[in-house]
Amino acid sequence: MDEHVRQALRRLPGVDELLAHDELAPHLDRYPREHVVEALRAALETARGRLLSGEYPETWGEITSVPTIVREAGRLLESWARPHLRRVLNASGVVIHTNLGRSTLAPAALERVVEVARHYNNLEYDLEAGVRGSRHDHVAELLTRLTGAEAALVVNNNAGATLLMLAGLAGEGEVVVSRGQLVEIGGSFRIPDIMRMSGCRLVEVGTTNKTRIDDYRAALTTDTTLLLRVHTSNFKVVGFTEETSIAELVELGREWGVPVADDLGSGALVDLPAFRDEPPVTASLRAGADVVSFSGDKLLGGPQAGILLGTHDAISRLKKHPLTRALRVDKMTLAALEGTLQLYRDPAAAVREIPTLRFLDRSPAETEALAAELLAALEARFAAAGLEAPSHVEPSTARAGGGSLPLLELASHAVVVRPGPGVVVSLEAALREASVPVVGRVAQDALLLDVLALESEELPLVAESVAWALARSRCMPDCDPAPEVDAGAAGGGADA
Ligand SMILES: *Cc1c(COP(=O)(O)O)cnc(C)c1O
């Protein structure tokens, strides 16, 4: 090792010396002493690494200085204390963003969660009879009243619901599915894999683009136990295509005494213009599907859940299957789902109160006004901080996301920020580090902040984070130009 580096390493302060330093006092007030010591050791290790990695000798004084090491330790302490799962601002223009938690909950649904989670409750207690009850009863009646289904069952998510439909209805028999519907949903959920897992045998029929009822008919044997339709929710085959309708499948199933299951994926319960390509849940039930399944946190706008609706017979077979216990939903999910479904009793209230529906129903005039508001907030922040970045409002194309409505282009608006050549990459990185991170879109040298999935109360917070990130990105990597905002204070009514 270079003798100069050795000398620089010897100049690093010791932990005891650092602990005695005035600059460390605020940290010792806030965090347990062992955590501070651990952070100092880690910060010293970082400094050692920098000295050994061949950084210029001019920087060594700075690297080994007490303020640098204390600042690094402070950063570590803060990041250890901060929750890992936390709020972000969705300026991506993707409403049901699976990476960002899909649907946000309506205030009424949140209230239900808080009451039920905060207190003991009747999760499995029948208040009328004073005996043990079933957690499945809380939302079943509401679901059947809203959809006309005979019976309902809720499990942990729709992947689980699909698995349960296959295991519970098909057993070890043959399940006939169109080749055009052997989809992959979100990385690791593939229909053929889930079939294998459930123990049934997959019988593929038709071709990628065309499957007719006669293809199903030709595949039926005495081992056939289920006809399955899967809504190809996250892609579209266009051009020369043909799919068999659920009504035709039901007719064939009745002829042969084989049940029909329909994995709808997204599950639309209201009629929005944006939903015109989405098969309505009620249409499948009316057509006579024995069981349909869909997600709670896609177009329904509720919590993560898998909702199963169908005949008394099919649903009671599923309830008795051991997988139902393994896939059972938590009380917080049930509370959020009940709170969400209650809103659907008045469809206009559902669209008004459920954020996912409200965002998907926003008009271009509304998004233009929101974008203008964001632009004004941003320009005020930039001016206050002495920052400059040309910004303007532009029409933008937003998406439903969450594997729903893949072709749907939602007319929205975005604030376009041009931070200067080459800065946008570090700006985007800094936005992820802000105390309330912002997820936008990067297009060439510009940052696009789409307003479609932002609450109007969130706009000042977006402006705050973007201004902080812009200041930071201009003097990367070590400066800290603006105090981080307090999300609670700056968020205004967003959490109310
Ligand atoms: C999204 C989707 C699933 C998986 O639902 P999760 O709620 O994410 O588990 C299954 N099938 C289809 C057709 C889907 O669109």
From ligand 1's centre to the CA of 159, what distance in Å?
5
Q: How far apart are CA 12 and CA 60, in angstroms?
A: 10
Q: Which helix (H) or strand (E) holds 185?
A: strand 184-185
Residue nearest to atom 15 of ligand 1 (CA): 265
Q: How far apart are CA 247 and CA 362, in angstroms?
A: 33
Residue nearest to atom 7 of ligand 1 (CA): 158
Q: How far apart are CA 181 and CA 235, in angstroms?
A: 10
For the Cβ of 97 lying below 6 angstroms from any atom of ligand 1, the answer is no
Question: Which pTM does this prediction carry?
Answer: 0.89
Tokens of 339: 């709170």
Residue by residue, DSSP assigns 35-95 as: HHHHHHHHHHHHHHHHHHTT--GGGHHHHTSHHHHHHHHHHHHHHHHS-SS---EE-SSEE
Are the CB atoms for 298 and 404 separated by under 8 Å?
A: yes
Q: Which helix (H) or strand (E) holds 441?
A: strand 441-443
Atom of ligand 1 nearest to the CA of 402: 1
From ligand 1's centre to the CA of 265, what distance in Å?
5
pLDDT of residue 54: 82
Are the CB atoms for 364 and 413 separated by under 8 Å?
A: yes
Are the CB atoms for 93 and 396 separated by under 8 Å?
A: yes
Is it true that the peptide bond before 481 is cis, omega within 30 degrees of 0?
no
- Domains by residue range for the chain, with CATH: 3-81 (no CATH), 89-99+360-473 (3.90.1150.180), 106-353 (3.40.640.10)
Residue ranges in the chain modelled with pLDDT below 70: 1, 187, 476-496
From ligand 1's centre to the CA of 293, what distance in Å?
9
Tokens of 77: 């302490």
From ligand 1's centre to the CA of 266, what distance in Å?
7
Q: How far apart are CA 288 and CA 407, in angstroms?
A: 28
pLDDT of residue 483: 46
Q: How far apart are CA 3 and CA 389, in angstroms?
A: 47
Atom of ligand 1 nearest to the CA of 232: 13
